[in-house]
Structure 1
Amino acid sequence: MASWVPVAKDSDFTIYNLPFGVFQNKRLSPRVGMAIGDKIVDLSVLYEEGFFSELSQLPHDIFLRDALNDFIGLGKPVTRKVREIVQNLLKEENDQLREHTCRGKAMVNRNEAQMMLPVKVGDYTDFYSSMEHATNVGTMFRDPNNALLPNWKHLPVGYHGRASSIIPSGVPIYRPKGQFKDPNKEQPEFGPSRRLDFELEMAFITGGPTKMGDSIPTEDAEDYIFGMVLFNDWSARDIQAWEYVPLGPFLGKSFASSISPWVVTLEALEPFRQAGPKQDPEVLPYLQCKKDHAFDIQLEVYIQPDGLKASKVCTSNFKYMYWNIAQQLAHHTVNGCNINVGDMMASGTISGPTEDSYGSMLELAWKGTKPVKLEEGGERKFIEDGDTVIMKGYAEKEGIRVGFGEVASKVLPAK
């Protein structure tokens, strides 16, 4: 497919993608749009002009809301059809929108828009699904010969995180404060974290609710998943290490998580579906999958010190994940836990098999013993004040490119 909208060859937002997001600018209130090239299609304008007339179930103001929840909640048959209609309108050979008097109003410049959090996140769960990451952490902090805990290959480990501190790309974070304990000292100390870290993750957004007591089987899981975003689960490693026994992550994680603002649908990711890593031992029947649920998504992380050039510090891929999105959702609900539209489920740190593919500074600098060199001089063991961490993700195959844009956030000194 080609579009009449100019799209750069390396653009993440091709006609094959068309992700959904919520934006505003100086003249427009918050509303739902779809990205293509350097433009945003204002879906409220298309609705006003009758382009969605065949979808009678669309409320008149559905695209004038400040979150995607209500739209997603209409169900995949509706959201898929909206995407198909817009995709058809943007095709090179279709002049319906291109020649329409509303074209100027419908096509908004992306560089003039402020992107907002795409969904109101009711609940957020973070998994721990990369075997390479779990092995690295287990090797560093426990026994290298028994890096994975006995349950790890039998179930997707996860914890319930803090939804209120999930923020969109571009919003800076403050260095967190808390308790930490130096192994060489008898008593803990309090102050700004000295080991602030990023975690390269992806997250899926749920698109359908369930009732308490119900479970979602793996074969139905993707019916409940609307799309995906890039996810930076900021971590204060020193605070985390002191607090996490016996109940797990708390203040070391809850201060901020940053996400990319454009939600890429599973339909757009379909060409990049592939088999995941072989799971051995065989998982229990409720976690077994009848089809492939892994996706070949290239991931990159950059650190940009204040006023200097960004340095690439990590190249990884979502296909490395041991536990896939269908298994994560099936396990999450197997006990009868109900989910709601707009819940967010993060993958856990995505690390690959090579040292340059590790998805956190904890691993890249190996607990601070191997500082990472930056392009314009200097090095990093962990993230410093003034640093901006930038994550990018895209899938590319046979001339088709579908990307996520980026999630970027600057670290400010502790308040």
Structure 2
Amino acid sequence: MSNGVVSSDLQAVASDVVSSDLQAVASDVVSSDLQAVASGLHPLPYGVFSTGALHRHIGVAIGDQVLDLTSVVDEAALRSTTLNAFLALGRARWAEVRAEITELLSDPAHRQRVGPYLHALSEVQMHLPFDVADYVDFYASEQHATNLGRMFRPGQPPLPPNWKHLPIGYHGRAGTVVPSGTAVVRPTGQRKAPDEQAPTDGPTRRLDIEVELGYVVGVPSELGTCVRTADFADHVFGVVLLNDWSARDLQSWEYVPLGPFLGKSFATSISPWVVPLAALEAARLPGAAQDPEPLEYLRDTENWGLDIEFEVELNGQVISRPPYRGMYWSPAQMLAHLTANGARLRTGDLFASGTVSGPARDQVGSLIELTDAGREPITLADGSTRAFLEDGDAVTITATAPSPAGGRFSLGAVTGTIAPAAPR
């Protein structure tokens, strides 16, 4: 990415803040805490919030507060109630606005201008940050694909023959992408266990999570054209944390021959804050070694592997810490393949990585892996056990990434609580 996009390099910001009376900025902008100022200024994630009134505003998170951008940045697209218009402006304008916001928050000369538009995060309501145009989910972790292949196709090679030649994915349902905190109603559908003679209809008995990273498209592409891996950052604005809730019994019964359908389409939760790619510069690293070498259109020379660490809590207890850095397919390769047939991108498109799983048992991103398809339930602190999710269970996924000045910063959280199935 260009130097302009990374103009908010944390070290430079920290230097500017110190030279302009850090204590005054800390008390007025965040919470009189140097670390909060430094870590807060760097990511500058975008979201949509309200303060009790009906009208929604676009803001950026800074420490434990949110800055309402409606009146402090001269950009008409930020006076909307979703991020879509801003996402469509493109990389150069994203960088200019990011630099302007950094200046407003780091220079004490702007305190009186900024002060009235700062709100405590604890006092605002967050909403879906953008209108989702299309949703595509990939299957980019070799560890996850191998683990599920062994469960779903015993006695066969765990990876299908095409897996290392192209990023496998499926088209999801954009209308059921929901913001963090939305209750997840237990889905109902056909399911058939291996020992059952015929399928039955009813609530899923194997409700699962999938820890994923979602990519938010800003700049569209023309129908009939392909997006190169090198152009990934010209189209994708940023990332969200994503939980692709999965009904494993519905999924295993329906997925042959066309893939996931009702076992996936009932709810997909995303975090309320979109972290710009500009904030992830220090997280970039070479992608996984790929053998065989991908076809030319899939060769990623831009190093879009990402050092992101996830953490999964079930009812407040950490049960797994999946690492993103080992993902086999990069997001640039996913985007290139998504458009390889000429399918166009639209502003607000969301595509996800697929479940993030590492090689260790405590690094997997789904319960079906963590419990060996339910055969080895986990024990929670209260003594109860879980093979899959029960009604009332609450799942929280968080993640961190490296900061340019050292340490790590938070990418936020995505949460959901399971509600009982609705009556037929």
- Asked if these proteins are the same fold (TM beyond 0.5), I'd say yes
Q: Which residue of 2 aligns with 1:183?
A: 194
Deviation at residue 181 of structure 1 after TM alignment: 0.6
- 1:361 to 2:367 alignment: yes
Aligned residue runs from structure 1 range 256-295, under 5 A: 256-295=267-306
Aligned residue for 1:252, secondary structure, equals coil
Aligned residue runs from structure 1 range 176-255, under 5 A: 176-255=187-266
CA RMSD, 1 decimal: 1.6
**1:23-60, CA deviations, whole angstroms, 9 ceiling, x for partnerless residues?**
1111472011000111101101203xxxx3xxxxx33x
Q: Of Structure 1 and Structure 2, which has the larger fraction of its residues in helix?
A: 2
Aligned residue identity for 1:160: H
Structure 1 residues 278 and 12, CA gap change in structure 2 (3 angstroms): farther
**Structure 1 residue corresponding to 2:95, chosen from 76, 80, 89:** 80
Q: Which residue of 2 aligns with 1:63?
A: 78
Q: Which residue of 1 aligns with 2:65?
A: 39
Deviation at residue 200 of structure 1 after TM alignment: 0.3
Cα distance between partner residues in 1 of 2:303 and 2:154: 33
Aligned residue identity for 2:260: P
* Contact 1:205–1:228, Cα closer than 8 Å, also in 2: yes
Q: Which residue of 2 aligns with 1:125?
A: 136
Cα distance between partner residues in 2 of 1:139 and 1:244: 16
**Structure 1 residue corresponding to 2:343, chosen from 318, 333, 337:** 337
Aligned residue identity for 2:384: G
Q: How does the TM-score come out when normalised to structure 1? A: 0.92
Deviation at residue 96 of structure 1 after TM alignment: 2.3
Cα distance between partner residues in 1 of 2:269 and 2:155: 32
**Structure 2 residue corresponding to 1:352, chosen from 331, 351, 358:** 358
Cα distance between partner residues in 2 of 1:253 and 1:322: 22
Aligned residue identity for 1:193: T
Q: Which residue of 1 aligns with 2:125?
A: 114
Sequence identity of aligned pairs in percent? 45
Deviation at residue 284 of structure 1 after TM alignment: 0.6
Deviation at residue 12 of structure 1 after TM alignment: 10
* Contact 2:218–2:236, Cα closer than 8 Å, also in 1: yes
Unaligned runs of 5+ in 1: 53-57, 305-309
Aligned residue identity for 1:152: W
How many pairs does the alignment contain? 395
Aligned residue for 1:345, secondary structure, equals strand
Structure 1 residues 373 and 11, CA gap change in structure 2 (3 angstroms): farther
Cα distance between partner residues in 1 of 2:148 and 2:272: 30
Deviation at residue 396 of structure 1 after TM alignment: 2.8
Q: How does the TM-score come out when normalised to structure 2? A: 0.90
Cα distance between partner residues in 2 of 1:177 and 1:244: 16
**Structure 1 residue corresponding to 2:384, chosen from 363, 378, 382:** 378
Aligned residue for 2:242, secondary structure, equals strand
Unaligned runs of 5+ in 2: 1-12, 18-24
Q: Which residue of 2 aligns with 1:394?
A: 400
Cα distance between partner residues in 2 of 1:120 and 1:267: 22
**1:127-150, CA deviations, whole angstroms, 9 ceiling, x for partnerless residues?**
000000000001112146611000
Aligned residue for 1:408, secondary structure, equals strand
Following superposition, which runs of at least 4 residues in structure 1 exceed 4 angstroms of deviation?
7-13
Aligned residue runs from structure 1 range 130-141, under 5 A: 130-141=141-152
Aligned residue identity for 1:269: L
* Contact 2:30–2:37, Cα closer than 8 Å, also in 1: no
Aligned residue for 2:237, secondary structure, equals strand
Q: Which residue of 1 aligns with 2:178?
A: 167
Aligned residue for 1:382, secondary structure, equals coil
* Contact 1:16–1:400, Cα closer than 8 Å, also in 2: no
Cα distance between partner residues in 1 of 2:380 and 2:127: 31
Cα distance between partner residues in 2 of 1:131 and 1:117: 30
